[in-house]
Structure 1
Amino acid sequence: MSRPDDEQSRADAESPAHADAGTGADAAEPTAAELIGAALSGAARRAGLSSDGGERTQTVVWSAMGGWRGILESVLPSLAFVVLFTLRPEPLLLSLGASVGLAAVFTVVRLVQKSPPSAALGGLVAAGAAAGLALWTGRGADNFVPGLITNALYGSAMIIAALVGWSLIGLAVGFLMGDGTAWRADRRKRRAFFWLGIAWGVLFFARLGVQLPLYLTDQVTLLGTLKLIMGLPLFAPMVAVTWLVVRALYPRAE
């Protein structure tokens, strides 16, 4: 026959509070995938995307591009460099200065208007680094080296993550939609995010495959032109396709 204090001990051990305490003590640190997913979803929210499945695709794409301001901040610095370099290759400082100057103007305008400066500031840092490299080597084509490296890294990360079953698109969408990493247990979602990750990786490698030969042959004007053509005009349709897939996988709750 059991004693009352033994029964009380068993009851305490089986109580929710006791179970929660044990779970908390044994809880593991967030995994790398969870941290990456949270970071990606945060970036998506800062880009204007939300977990509201009722958003129109046009609105989502426009928000992802940053509206007219985002388009101008993305296009004008590179466009200014290409036009000025084509008209007057020397001195190189002229075209590079115009590119960095425009990026700086966009950043200052955002700071004055107290709007989030992250996009423009990122563009300014990238333009400054690219210009510094080009001035150091004396080759206008080196202004595009950071973009080539970025495409290689992003493309590799997208495809490798998809192949190992941790699609970066899936991680971003999972945390954005409040699903965490549960999508990996859903065969339909896992397959969709696999192919979306592959598609994004192919996009980055397509840019690299077209632009790298032009860089190696020092065709600066054509390289800059194709960089612009393969930028937002390809980015926007990919965002649209991605969002349409997300809406199909996560129907809006009535």
Structure 2
Amino acid sequence: MTTGPAPTTRPEGGGSAADELPLPSFAEQMADQLGGWRGMVESSVPVVVFVAANIIGNLRPAVVAAVATAVAIAGLRLAQRRPVRHAVNGLVGVAIGAAIAWRTGDEKTFYLPGILYGIGYGLVLLGSAVVRQPLVGWIWSIIVAKGRSDWRDDPRLVRTFTWLTVLWGVVWLAKVGVQAALYLADMDTALGVARLALGYPPYALLLIITVWAVRRVTRTPAVAEPAV
């Protein structure tokens, strides 16, 4: 998850920190986090294969097909000397779900790790906002600001990252709540469709809102406190 450029600070010499260390553009940040159109498609293909194979056949061929597809995608990226971060993340997620489904013999458990991860992630996001250590701010600090945490000194950015963290947490719990309801209702095919539909679209929308909000704050000069 990424956000906008670093807060503008005024070092000696009058230049801004953003001028000294240019940060990725909006498009670059979005492309990096989503993996581009290819990354989005590739991360979804193993789940599509699992859902389709499970409808046509049965559980175990579907598990084998999904894992084989994820491995093939990762191998193709390696062969083409392309970044494999998104492919590896997808492979790990598919492998864990496949292992559980294989062991239990229940196709819906393929989606269980993703549901549990989503619940945990949403709760951590909300908890970090409660203790005034908004996780979105710290992730922004690592990914976009190259480790700088000077946003903690700007009350406007602290407030912005706090409400953004709450937004991410609420959306994450809402989408995982839909999947959990389908899981408990044993609606396996609908659960697979929901997994795809509630994957990248909400994530992309949250990224857009986050980048826009942080850029809006960092580009608006703070109102100076009146002299006493």
TM tier relative to shorter chain: 0.7 to 0.9
Matched letter for residue 112 of structure 1: A
d(CA) in 2 for partners of 1:61, 1:118 = 15
User: Which residue, 29, 33, 56 being the options, matches 1:87?
Assistant: 56
* Structure showing greater Rg: 1
State the identity %.
31
Matched letter for residue 176 of structure 2: L
In the alignment, what sits opposite 1:161? 128
In the alignment, what sits opposite 2:46? 77
TM-score (norm 2): 0.81
In the TM superposition, residue 126 of structure 1 has moved relative to its aligned partner by 1.6
In the TM superposition, residue 173 of structure 1 has moved relative to its aligned partner by 2.0
d(CA) in 2 for partners of 1:143, 1:126 = 10
d(CA) in 1 for partners of 2:76, 2:218 = 38
Structure that is richer in helix per residue: 1
| Contact persistence 2:157–2:214 (CA under 8 A) | no
In the TM superposition, residue 217 of structure 1 has moved relative to its aligned partner by 1.8
In the TM superposition, residue 179 of structure 1 has moved relative to its aligned partner by 7.4
Count of residue pairs brought into register by the alignment: 202
Is 1:105 the equivalent of 2:72?
yes
In the TM superposition, residue 158 of structure 1 has moved relative to its aligned partner by 0.8
| Contact persistence 1:170–1:193 (CA under 8 A) | yes
Is 1:197 the equivalent of 2:165?
yes
Matched letter for residue 115 of structure 1: R
Give a deviation string over 1:142-170, Cα, whole Å, max 9, x none.
00011011101111111111111111111
In the TM superposition, residue 61 of structure 1 has moved relative to its aligned partner by 2.4
TM-score (norm 1): 0.73
| Contact persistence 2:182–2:190 (CA under 8 A) | yes
User: Which residue, 185, 204, 215 being the options, matches 1:217?
Assistant: 185
Any unmatched runs of 5+ in structure 2? 3-17, 221-228
In the alignment, what sits opposite 1:139? 106
Residue 181 to residue 62, structure 1, CA distance change in 2 (3 Å): closer
Give a deviation string over 1:118-137, Cα, whole Å, max 9, x none.
22122112211111100110
The two structures, once aligned, show a CA RMSD in angstroms of: 2.3
| Contact persistence 1:159–1:198 (CA under 8 A) | yes
